[in-house]
């Protein structure tokens, strides 16, 4: 466990509470603002922890019905049997014990932005001074004919880690030697832009060993994708002829799916799949939509310096649900949450908000000892107010690197994942 210990936390709160400098109600509200955080994924958990670090006196409540969180990061490894869900699963005990975060195991069902109250699934109402909404993304069950709540079990998305991951793993395992595993990629933006291609890579790695006559087909609504040259280099080197991708311009966009016939209709033709992994079109999580935080894109417009909603006062939206200009990734969720936490602490104490900085880092594994990475350092352009790369701080792993180099990157990836999990949840 890192950061503020339980004893240290109590001492800090004690110090703040014991100072008798202000007796007014105003000072009291500034001292103990009520902060409610909805959603305990990478964004919500990081925010709660880092707000505590910046503001020892805040009353921070995390509203999250689940007892533990299952990371989507590294869940492609689980699909092909390289890992299990266990190391991807983390509880909220450290946030509660080391950082004094109250965990309320309920769903948030409604927000009243005028009375500033959250209604919980129990019917209880939770008052707030500032509300942070981090519900992640939700599948759009209405966007792809043939893919809905009923057929999703037959055509698993596995874009939320957990039971869906296990379902997809079972389907891959049951696949005959000789069929095609189809992955459909929705139009951007969607959660974790390189992840469909990592999944295709690991499918190929698994099939090459277990069902060598099988193939992988990516039907892609998009034209290009992150780390594309590196992925394509890896596919040619590791699994020659096994991975085919049809981009949007060549009819890769899926038009409908048939879970009974196990067929996919796309502009390029009709395809039969032994496994069909539909990565569905996405939007901000349900609560964000219900609370009027989304615009016509289905995502939540925010100010990238503070993550304040542009639509609802005193509400902040973090992580995948936010249209901040950052990629929809775990590291961006973590980075944005830290910026938002410091900005909120400064705002509540009457200090000016300082300029943000974010790192996005993402590794993709193509095989156990073969990983590639991408990283960017972002700031906010003072003129446009948009997220921009700082200096020349963006790039990927080099093309044409040795297998030894890719192995070192696979080791870097493991270290990155462990640090990310502990920085977020411990």
Partner 1 sequence: MRRVCLALALGLAAVGTATADTDVRTLADSCAICHGTDGKPPRDGLDRLAGMRSSEFVEEMRELRDDPDEGRLMSVIARGYSDAEIRAMADYFAKLR
Site residues (CB under 8 A) for partner 1? 2-3, 12, 15-16, 19, 21-22, 27, 30-33, 49-50, 53-58, 331, 334-335, 338-339, 342, 345-346, 348-351, 354-359, 361, 373-379, 389-398, 405, 408-409, 412, 415-416, 418-420, 422-423, 426
Tell me how far, at minimum, the Cβ of 375 lies from partner 1, in Å. 5
* φ, ψ of residue 408 in degrees (nearest 5): -60, -40
Tell me how far, at minimum, the Cβ of 350 lies from partner 1, in Å. 7
Q: Helix (H, G, I), strand (E, B), or coil: what is residue 191?
A: coil
Tell me how far, at minimum, the Cβ of 158 lies from partner 1, in Å. 24
Distance CA 266, CA 246 (A): 10
Integer CA distances (angstroms), 422 to 219, 292, 327, 415, in order: 35, 33, 21, 11
Compare residues 188 and 375 and give the one whose CB is closer to partner 1: 375
Integer CA distances (angstroms), 318 to 131, 143, 323, in order: 11, 24, 9
Compare residues 6 and 125 and give the one whose CB is closer to partner 1: 6
Tell me how far, at minimum, the Cβ of 359 lies from partner 1, in Å. 5
Compare residues 179 and 379 and give the one whose CB is closer to partner 1: 379
What string of DSSP letters covers 62-120? EE-S-SEEE-STTHHHHHTTSS-SGGGEEESHHHHHHH--EEE-S-EEEEETTTTEEEE
Q: 387-396 and 370-380: which strand pairing?
A: antiparallel
Compare residues 12 and 262 and give the one whose CB is closer to partner 1: 12
Q: Helix (H, G, I), strand (E, B), or coil: what is residue 243?
A: strand
Compare residues 9 and 271 and give the one whose CB is closer to partner 1: 9
Tell me how far, at minimum, the Cβ of 325 lies from partner 1, in Å. 16
User: What six digits make up the tokens of 140?
Assistant: 């759009």
Instruction: Please report where in the chains the tokens 């698994």 appear, as a residue.
Output: 206
Compare residues 260 and 402 and give the one whose CB is closer to partner 1: 402
Compare residues 12 and 259 and give the one whose CB is closer to partner 1: 12
Instruction: Please report where in the chains the tokens 């009243």 appear, as a residue.
Output: 112
Compare residues 174 and 391 and give the one whose CB is closer to partner 1: 391
Tell me how far, at minimum, the Cβ of 203 lies from partner 1, in Å. 25
Is the CB of residue 186 less than 8 Å from the CB of residue 253? no
Q: Which residues pair with 370 in a beta bridge?
A: 367
- The dihedral of CA 95, 97, 102, 106: what is its sign? positive
Compare residues 284 and 374 and give the one whose CB is closer to partner 1: 374
Tell me how far, at minimum, the Cβ of 99 lies from partner 1, in Å. 11
Distance CA 142, CA 151 (A): 12
Tell me how far, at minimum, the Cβ of 379 lies from partner 1, in Å. 8
Tell me how far, at minimum, the Cβ of 423 lies from partner 1, in Å. 4
Nearest to 329 by CA among 148, 174, 137, 151: 137
């Amino acid at each position: 466990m890192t950061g503020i210990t339980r004893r240290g936390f109590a001492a800090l709160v004690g110090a703040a509470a014991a100072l008798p400098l202000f007796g007014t109600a105003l000072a009291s509200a500034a001292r103990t603002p009520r902060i409610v955080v909805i959603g305990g994924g990478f964004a919500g958990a990081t925010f709660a922890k880092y707000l505590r670090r910046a503001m020892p006196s805040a009353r921070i409540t995390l509203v999250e019905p689940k007892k533990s969180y299952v990371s989507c990061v590294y869940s492609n490894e689980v699909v092909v049997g390289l890992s299990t869900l266990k190391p991807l699963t983390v509880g909220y005990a450290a946030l509660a014990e080391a950082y004094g975060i109250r965990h309320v195991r309920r769903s948030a069902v409604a927000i009243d932005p005028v009375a500033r109250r959250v209604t919980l699934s129990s019917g209880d109402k939770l008052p707030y001074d500032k509300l942070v909404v981090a519900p992640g993304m939700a599948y759009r069950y209405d966007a792809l004919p043939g893919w809905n709540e009923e057929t999703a079990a037959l055509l698993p998305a596995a874009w939320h880690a957990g039971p869906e991951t296990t379902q997809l793993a079972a389907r891959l395992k049951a696949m005959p030697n000789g069929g095609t595993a189809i992955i459909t990629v929705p139009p951007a933006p969607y959660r974790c832009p390189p992840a469909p291609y990592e999944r295709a890579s690991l499918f190929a790695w698994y099939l090459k060993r277990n069902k060598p006559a099988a193939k992988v087909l990516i039907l892609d609504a998009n034209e290009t994708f992150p780390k594309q040259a590196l992925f394509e280099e890896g596919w040619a080197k590791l699994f020659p002829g096994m991975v085919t991708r049809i981009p949007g311009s060549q009819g890769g966009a899926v038009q409908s799916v048939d879970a009974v016939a196990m067929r996919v209709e796309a502009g390029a033709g009709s395809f039969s799949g032994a496994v069909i992994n539909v990565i569905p079109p996405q939007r901000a999580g349900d609560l964000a939509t219900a609370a009027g935080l989304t615009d016509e894109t289905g995502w939540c417009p925010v100010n990238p310096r503070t993550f304040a909603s542009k639509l609802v006062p005193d509400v902040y939206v973090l992580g995948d649900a936010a249209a901040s200009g950052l990629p929809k990734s775990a590291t961006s969720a973590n980075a944005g949450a830290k910026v938002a936490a410091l900005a909120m602490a400064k705002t509540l104490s009457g200090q000016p908000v300082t300029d943000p900085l974010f790192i996005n880092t993402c590794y993709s594994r193509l095989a156990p000892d073969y990983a590639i990475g991408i990283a960017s350092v972002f700031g906010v352009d003072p003129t446009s107010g948009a997220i921009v790369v700082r200096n020349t701080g963006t790039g990927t792993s080099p093309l044409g690197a040795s297998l030894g180099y890719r192995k070192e990157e696979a080791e870097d990836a493991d270290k990155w994942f462990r640090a990310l999990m502990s920085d977020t949840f411990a």
